[in-house]
């Protein structure tokens, strides 16, 4: 069983998918703390409804980004978190967090990285007219939306897709993939090779 901290900034539908997977026994983990970069994030309500402690930060907290990360770090260490899960966290993670959780911070992005990083991955891919896009789960690094890739799922862009219909399909893949990847981590099957490539061990039979 792994102890998770979750960082978010918005709706928290990925947080919800992780909570549901834990409740349904598909993910052997507990969420010890949810930290939001914004006080009005709906994800905070989802956490509270699930009985998870929350910390809400404000824009002012991030005026000094290193101090903000040191503060987050302190809160996470108080509850002994093993892994930090970014679920729609629209801020960079910086050295205080990266050093406290080396290769233990995970991010999800709604595109096939390294293509279309940033805050608008779905819209950017749609506007570029790509025929295939997808979802990436990766270990976070000091550069936003980069770091060793753990898993990816491809999603075809259909002729009749609108941005909204594509968004819907991408989000539903995210909600499946994120708990699955976290379960691989909980099972100790994810490691990073010396060359930086992630290796996933076969399930023991
Ligand atoms: C998700 O689509 C996630 O992949 C994206 O933010 C959304 C958050 O939704 N993250 C990024 O774009 C990171 N660059 P949620 O708040 O409903 O989970």
Radius of gyration over every alpha carbon of the chain, rounded to an integer in angstroms:
16
pLDDT at 64: 96
Pocket probe for ligand 1: among 16, 108, 113, the residue whose CB has the most ligand atoms within 8 Å is 108
Residue 18 main-chain phi, psi, to 5 deg: -70, -45
Domain count, the chain: 1
Distance from chain centroid for Cα 151? 12
Residue 146 lies in a domain: yes
Residue 152 lies in a domain: yes
- The question of whether 109 is a catalytic residue gets the answer yes
Pocket probe for ligand 1: among 20, 87, 89, the residue whose CB has the most ligand atoms within 8 Å is 87
DSSP 116: S
pLDDT at 204: 76
Burial group, residue 193, by CB count within 10 angstroms (0-12, 13-18, 19+): exposed
Mind listing the pLDDT tens digit of every residue in the chain (205 residues)? 999 999 999 999 999 999 999 999 999 999 999 999 999 999 999 999 999 999 999 999 999 999 999 999 999 999 999 999 999 999 999 999 999 999 999 999 999 999 999 999 999 999 999 999 999 999 999 999 999 999 999 999 999 999 999 999 999 999 999 999 999 999 999 999 999 999 999 987 7
Q: Whose CA is nearest to atom 13 of ligand 1?
A: 109
**Domain containing residue 117: CATH number:** 3.40.50.170
Q: Which residues line ligand 1 (CB under 6 A)?
A: 8, 10-14, 43, 87-88, 108-110, 119, 121, 145, 171, 174
Domain carrying residue 92: 2-200
């Amino acid at each position: 069983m792994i102890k998770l901290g979750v960082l978010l900034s918005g709706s928290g539908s990925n947080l919800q998918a992780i909570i549901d997977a834990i409740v349904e026994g598909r993910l052997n983990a507990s969420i010890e703390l949810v930290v939001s970069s914004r006080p009005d994030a709906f994800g905070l309500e989802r956490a509270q409804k699930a009985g998870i402690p929350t910390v809400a930060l404000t824009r002012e907290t991030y005026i000094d980004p290193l101090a903000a990360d040191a503060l987050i770090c302190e809160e996470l260490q108080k509850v002994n978190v093993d892994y930090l899960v970014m679920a729609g966290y629209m801020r960079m993670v910086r050295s205080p967090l990266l050093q406290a959780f080396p290769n233990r911070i995970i991010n999800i992005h709604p595109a096939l990285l390294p293509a279309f990083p940033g805050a608008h991955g779905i819209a950017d891919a749609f506007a570029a007219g790509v025929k295939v896009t997808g979802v990436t789960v990766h270990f976070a690094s000091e550069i936003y939306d980069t770091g060793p890739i753990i898993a990816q799922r491809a999603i075809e862009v259909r002729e009749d897709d609108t941005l909204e219909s594509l968004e819907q399909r991408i989000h539903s893949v995210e909600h499946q993939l994120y708990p699955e990847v976290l379960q691989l981590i909980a099972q100790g099957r994810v490691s990073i090779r010396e060359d930086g490539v992630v290796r996933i061990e076969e399930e023991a039979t």
